[in-house]
Amino acid sequence: MKKANLIMLGAPGSGKGTRAVALCEVLGIAQVSTGDLFRNNIKEGTELGKLAKSYINKGELVPDGVTAAMVKDRLSKPDTAGGFILDGFPRTLAQAEMLDKILAELGEEISYALYLDVPDAEIIRRISGRMICSECQAPYHREFNPPKSEGICDKCGGKLFTRDDDKPETVKKRLEVFRSTTLPLADFYGARGILVKIPPELSERGAAADMREVAEKLGLCAR
């Protein structure tokens, strides 16, 4: 059995957040989403939030050093010691190198990078219709994953909203950034022999069952 220190790679709107949440529940590991961490900081009006917002709303990446410091802080918390899934980090080669350093200091290493390869046309379809919970950040989709009652989170009753950066112009920019800057990471982890492509479509059994199957195939241990 292998410890689950995982990276989730995929374009914006590829469904990596949904997979990451499911995998965390299946394995009992911690989810570390840089997008969620930034959005929490924006909501709370912190200095980090103010800085991040100026990049996020243009569809640009927050500078590597800022993002890596936030991740380092998060990975130093005890709940990640039994395994974690990084959702949205690393997104540049420089961040991948920073991550190696952070993990080496903690005596940890990445077990696998899971990659969702989704065509652009499908991405646009998925992003238009996406909503998230304002309280617990759970993701929904009007068509593919609707909440039981409209506009309300199934899990916590929070209000659902559409992210500012899910506007079509910003999505186009984010996809460009993904192709040019983040996609090379697939080769980076591929060369290391730890890249695993996972099916970009959910089966009818749902995300939890799909991710349980991935976890079993890879021999990942639950907490």
Residues that are catalytic: 16, 91, 130, 163, 174
Options 20-28, 40-48, 86-94, 104-112: segment touching ligand ADP (CB under 6 A): 86-94
- Of residues 91, 168, 158, 176, the one with CA closest to residue 127: 168
91 binds ligand ADP (CB under 6 A): yes
| CA diameter of the chain | 46
Q: Is residue 1 a contact partner of residue 68, using CB atoms and an 8 Å limit?
A: no
188 binds ligand ADP (CB under 6 A): no
Task: List the one residue from 82, 139, 158, 200 that touches Zn ion (CB under 5 A).
Answer: 158
74 binds ligand ADP (CB under 6 A): no
Q: How far is CA 56 from CA 19, 51, 52, 144, 217, in A?
A: 22, 9, 6, 25, 36
Q: What's the closest the beta carbon of residue 160 comes to Zn ion, in angstroms?
A: 8
Task: List the one residue from 29, 174, 195, 210 that touches ligand ADP (CB under 6 A).
Answer: 174
Task: List the one residue from 22, 133, 177, 214 that touches Zn ion (CB under 5 A).
Answer: 133
Q: How far is CA 86 from CA 5, 15, 71, 219, in A?
A: 8, 14, 9, 18
d(CA 178, CA 190): 17
Q: What's the closest the beta carbon of residue 193 comes to ligand ADP, in angstroms?
A: 23
Closer by beta carbon to ligand ADP, 177 or else 211: 177
Q: From residue 117 to residue 146, what is the string marking binding to ligand ADP with x (rule CB under 6 A)? A: ------------------------------
Closer by beta carbon to ligand ADP, 185 or else 195: 185
* Residues numbered 1-40 forming contacts with ligand ADP, rule: CB under 6 A: 12-13, 34-35, 38
d(CA 165, CA 60): 10
Residues making contact with ligand ADP (CB under 6 A): 12-13, 34-35, 38, 55-56, 60-62, 67, 88-89, 91, 95, 165, 174
